[in-house]
């Protein structure tokens, strides 16, 4: 009962603070509802960026991947810092100069309205089919495990997942649909503090338990007993082989931190470029510490459970249940609940923004005033949330959640990144090239990963068995090496799409050069230390890799 009361108390506290912090925001206008009145400061931006990213699909999924594969999966965290530096230096100044509310708005100005609509459609499809259900499912696994919902309510594990999915979904929808971006961002910032504290406590308690009361002894035991788990350079059979850091990994990171609407919307809401750059770089610096929260606990779980868990994504909930003192469980569950809501809210709010601005206003009701756009955006958000709540429990057998999420996202991430990069770096590439780039990128990736890859892997396994190989580990390695890694495929398709667009631009260029106009909605004077801080962050990331090589 004490656990539940502390959980409920902290959750209500966040809601009350968010209400009082946002009650004066004009949410009847597009800027007020979708961008918090373009008023966010560095601290709020950093907190919201971190918590939007650091949810249960990260905490549960990446720790599960670390449980199975060790430290090499930290690339998803450490390289994010470098992508955020590029965003702060290159992309954010251009976004704020154009006064963008959504990333596809730029594509409308640079190419044409159809390119913008296709991009918004890709974002929305990815959000409702993949991202929202994964967030809800992973969050439900965590909450159900921590509170032991099946035993508490006398239901099956599957039924408990359905109950948690709908509980999280309904509360999250209220925040995102009726509170707007500022309510999401403020609640994010509060929960971010709690999540950082709670997230760091888990490995601390785990190390103390391993070391029989001494954290330093715990570190010594963990590293000495499991040296193979502490190598930053992934092998070819790992989820992140080292060479992929230089191929598709940085592209995925640039898409996520620089062009993904759910993330970049926080920076678009900055009161000026200086605050936006400070916020992104502050989040970047903290992101370097991310492996302490989303990788180290997975390795600790591997040591404690001796690699005997049937489902790798159970590693984190099981570890929390084992090492966290009872007095902390309610607080940490509330913080984790806040993290789940944060990611769900953020994706849902971004979906509402994309639909309201890029589809409803553009195609359904061009004469609609801002109040009407917000109203119908909210209605769309409710429909989207309900759809995601029905889909979420169905992905229970998807394997490693984090790997599944990253591979599926490639369908739309690389094509969108391609046309944005080409759009900003060229002046004469036409709209036709962007549309072809979007469609070819998506279709070729689907063909590669969901038709050709299974075919070649199955063929390799059949040939190996025919030659007398029966060892499961060896067969797994053969299967992994039978086809290029999906991150390599992303890099190949990125280069191919860029070439296609440039060739079209050469053969059928625009009649006039594209020139970006300054809308003067916010001051775009850059932070004077942005380059120096960006360089320091890059050096730290390289140093981390060298140390654990």
pLDDT in tens, the chain (549 residues): 555 666 666 666 666 665 565 555 544 444 444 444 566 788 888 877 877 777 777 888 889 889 988 888 898 888 999 999 999 999 999 999 988 877 888 888 899 989 988 888 888 888 787 888 888 888 888 788 777 788 888 888 888 888 988 988 887 777 655 555 455 556 666 666 777 788 888 999 999 999 999 999 999 999 999 888 888 887 777 888 888 988 899 999 999 999 887 788 778 888 899 999 999 999 999 888 888 888 999 999 999 988 778 778 788 888 988 888 877 777 777 777 777 777 777 777 777 777 887 788 888 888 888 778 877 887 888 888 888 888 888 776 655 566 777 788 888 889 999 999 999 999 999 999 999 999 999 999 999 988 998 888 888 888 888 888 877 667 677 777 778 888 999 999 999 999 999 999 999 999 899 988 888 888 889 999 999 999 999 999 999 888 886
pLDDT at residue number 33: 46
pLDDT, position 211: 93
- Its pTM stands at 0.81
Among the listed residues 178, 183, 128, 120, the one whose alpha carbon sits nearest the alpha carbon of residue 354: 120
Distance (Å, whole) CA 85 – CA 258: 10
Separation between Cα atoms, residue 416 and residue 492, nearest integer Å: 15
Helices (DSSP H) in 211-325: which residue ranges? Answer: 215-225, 248-258, 261-268, 273-287, 291-294, 296-305, 315-323
CB 244 within 8 Å of CB 332 = no
Alpha carbon distance 182, 200 (integer Å): 27
How long is the chain? 549
Give the model's pLDDT for residue 237.
74
Positive or negative: CA dihedral 309, 310, 316, 322: negative
**Taking Cα atoms as reference points, which of 156, 65, 140 lies closest to residue 396?**
140
Angle at 508 between CA 502 and CA 511, to 5 degrees: 110
pLDDT at 31: 46
Closest by alpha carbon to 86, among 311, 302, 319, 252? Answer: 252
Residue 54: name the closest of 359, 286, 313 by CA.
286
Do residues 175 and 183 lie in contact, with contact meaning Cβ atoms separated by under 8 Å? yes
Residues 449/407, Cβ–Cβ less than 8 Å: yes
Rg, Å, the chain Cα set: 23
Q: Reply yes or no on domain 2-407 having CATH 3.50.50.60.
A: no
Q: Are 513 and 50 in contact (CB under 8 A)?
A: no
The whole-number pLDDT of residue 425 equals: 92
Helix ranges (H only) for 451-524 are: 453-466, 472-481, 486-507
pLDDT reported for residue 20: 60
The answer to whether 433 and 505 are in contact (CB under 8 A) is yes
pLDDT at 219: 93
Q: Which of 456, 518, 510, 501 is nearest to 482 (CA)?
A: 456
Which phi and psi (to 5°) does residue 521 adopt?
-75, -30
What was the pLDDT predicted at 130?
A: 80
């Amino acid at each position: 009962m004490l656990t539940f009361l502390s959980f409920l108390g902290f959750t209500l506290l966040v809601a009350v603070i968010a209400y009082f912090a946002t009650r004066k925001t004009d949410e009847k206008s597009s800027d007020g509802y979708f961008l918090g009145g373009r008023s966010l400061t560095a601290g709020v931006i950093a907190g919201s960026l971190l918590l939007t990213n650091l949810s249960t699909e990260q905490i549960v999924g990446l720790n599960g991947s670390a449980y199975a594969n060790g430290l090499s999966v930290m690339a998803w965290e450490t390289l994010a810092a470098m992508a955020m530096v590029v965003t702060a230096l290159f992309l954010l100044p251009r976004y704020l100069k154009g006064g963008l509310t959504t990333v596809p708005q730029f594509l409308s100005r640079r190419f044409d309205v159809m390119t913008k609509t296709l991009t918004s459609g890709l974002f929305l499809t990815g959000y409702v089919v993949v991202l929202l259900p994964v967030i809800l499912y992973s969050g439900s696994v965590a909450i159900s495990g921590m509170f032991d919902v099946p035993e508490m309510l006398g239901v099956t594990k599957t039924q408990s997942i359905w109950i948690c999915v709908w509980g999280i979904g309904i509360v999250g929808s209220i925040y995102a649909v009726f509170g707007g971006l500022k309510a999401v961002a403020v609640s994010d910032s509060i929960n971010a503090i709690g999540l950082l504290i709670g997230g760091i406590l888990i490995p601390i308690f785990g190390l103390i338990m391993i070391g029989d009361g001494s954290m330093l002894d715990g570190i010594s035991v963990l590293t000495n007993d499991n040296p193979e788990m502490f190598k930053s350079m992934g092998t070819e059979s790992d989820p992140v082989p080292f060479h992929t850091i230089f191929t598709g990994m940085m592209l995925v990171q640039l898409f996520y931190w620089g062009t993904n609407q759910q993330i970049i919307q926080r920076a678009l809401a900055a009161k000026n470029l200086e605050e936006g750059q400070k916020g992104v770089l502050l989040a970047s610096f903290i992101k370097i510490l991310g492996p302490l929260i989303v990788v180290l606990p997975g390795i600790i779980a591997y040591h404690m459970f001796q690699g005997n868990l049937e489902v790798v994504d159970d590693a984190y909930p099981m570890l929390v249940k084992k090492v966290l003192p009872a007095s902390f469980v309610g607080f940490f569950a509330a913080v984790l609940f806040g993290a789940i809501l944060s990611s769900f809210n953020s994706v849902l709010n971004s979906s509402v923004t994309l639909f309201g601005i890029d589809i409803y206003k553009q195609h359904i009701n061009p004469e609609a005033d801002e109040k009407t756009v917000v109203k119908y955006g909210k209605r769309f958000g409710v429909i989207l949330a309900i759809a995601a709540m029905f889909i979420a429990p169905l992905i229970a057998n998807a394997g490693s959640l984090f790997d599944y999420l990253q591979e599926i996202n490639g369908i739309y991430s690389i094509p969108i990144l391609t046309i944005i990069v080409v759009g900003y770096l060229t002046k004469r590439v036409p709209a036709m090239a962007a549309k072809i780039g979007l469609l070819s990128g998506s279709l070729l990736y689907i063909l590669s990963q969901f038709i050709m890859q299974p075919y070649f892997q199955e063929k390799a396994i059949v040939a190996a068995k025919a030659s007398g190989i029966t060892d499961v580990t060896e067969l797994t390695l053969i299967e992994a090496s039978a086809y290029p890694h999906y991150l390599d495929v992303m890099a190949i398709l990125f280069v191919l799409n860029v070439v296609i667009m440039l060739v079209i631009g050469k053969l059928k260029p625009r009649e006039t050069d594209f020139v970006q106009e300054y809308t003067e909605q916010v001051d775009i004077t850059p932070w004077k230390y942005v380059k120096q801080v960006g360089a320091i962050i890059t050096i730290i990331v390289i140093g981390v890799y060298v140390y654990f090589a």
